[in-house]
Amino acid sequence: ETGVTQTPRHLVMGMTNKKSLKCEQHLGHNAMYWYKQSAKKPLELMFVYNFKEQTENNSVPSRFSPECPNSSHLFLHLHTLQPEDSALYLCASSQEAGTAYGYTFGSGTRLTVV
Amino acid sequence: GDSVTQMEGPVTLSEEAFLTINCTYTATGYPSLFWYVQYPGEGLQLLLKATKADDKGSNKGFEATYRKETTSFHLEKGSVQVSDSAVYFCALASGGSYIPTFGRGTSLIVHP
């Protein structure tokens, strides 16, 4: 149990579908993050929420839409994705968005776009 | 901008061998440094960290020392086990941008 739970673990979706990824933490952390991990590429930061406010959007296409209703939950809404969006999507949390705090990661959602 | 450079993998070792995975960084100011580990099918886990020069982070037999003069944070373990097989990521977070920058990861394979 890592403390950060992501659902679903695996998702296959068509390019015209709409789906959502869910992330939940009960660690009392105030910052939450979405990362994309693709084979042969560095970890890519997508979004940052600090105290429920979005503080970073790393030039992510609008077909990815984050939502943070409270400090324990983070969603990533997906629509009209492309095959190149297939990847492992990782959620992480930290005490707050600060330099000395390490992250706690979830196990990820393996997304396949067909 | 900030960057982290890790040695290319995979690193292949026999059980009980000595491990070193090199990590060097470029950053403004005085960053905090981290090592994360990712086991197959899992997310990343924080392995150890150091927040200032000459600090040594350690956990589960792994160690890394923050070397400001060489801008390095090499990961070492005296005797690896098969269960250490995973991908290891070096990362830094500096005061200019509070978001960690990750290296590309180094795959470690340990044979019995």
pLDDT digits (tens, 9 = 90+) for B29-79: 788 999 999 998 888 999 999 999 999 999 999 999 999 999 999 999 999
Give the DSSP letter of residue A102: P
Position A100 confidence tier, pLDDT thresholds 50, 70, 90: low
Q: What is the mean pLDDT of residues A2-14?
A: 92
- Give the one of B36, B46, B98 whose C-beta lies nearest to A98's C-beta: B98
Q: Does A103 touch chain B (CB under 8 A)?
A: yes
Q: What is the mean pLDDT of residues A53-76?
A: 91
DSSP helix/strand/coil, A64: strand
Look at chain B and count its residues: 112
Q: How much is the pLDDT for B98?
A: 63
- Cα–Cα distance, B77 to B106 (Å, whole number): 15
Token reading at B65: 């020392």
Within 10 angstroms of residue A100's Cβ, the number of other Cβ atoms is: 15
Q: How much is the pLDDT for A90?
A: 96
Contacts of A92 in chain B (CB under 8 A): 43-44
**Minimum CA–CA partner of B52 in chain A:** A100
Q: How much is the pLDDT for A109?
A: 97
pLDDT digits (tens, 9 = 90+) for A37-54: 998 788 899 999 988 888
Is the Cβ pair B46, A102 closer than 8 Å? yes
The residue behind tokens 């394979």 is: B109
Interface test with A, best of B36, B44, B52, B102 (most A CBs within 10 A): B44
Q: What is the mean pLDDT of residues B84-104?
A: 85
Q: How much is the pLDDT for A53?
A: 87
Residue A96 has pLDDT above 60, yes or no: yes
DSSP helix/strand/coil, A71: coil
Residue bearing the bigger pLDDT, A95 or B20: B20
- Cα–Cα distance, A92 to B42 (Å, whole number): 12
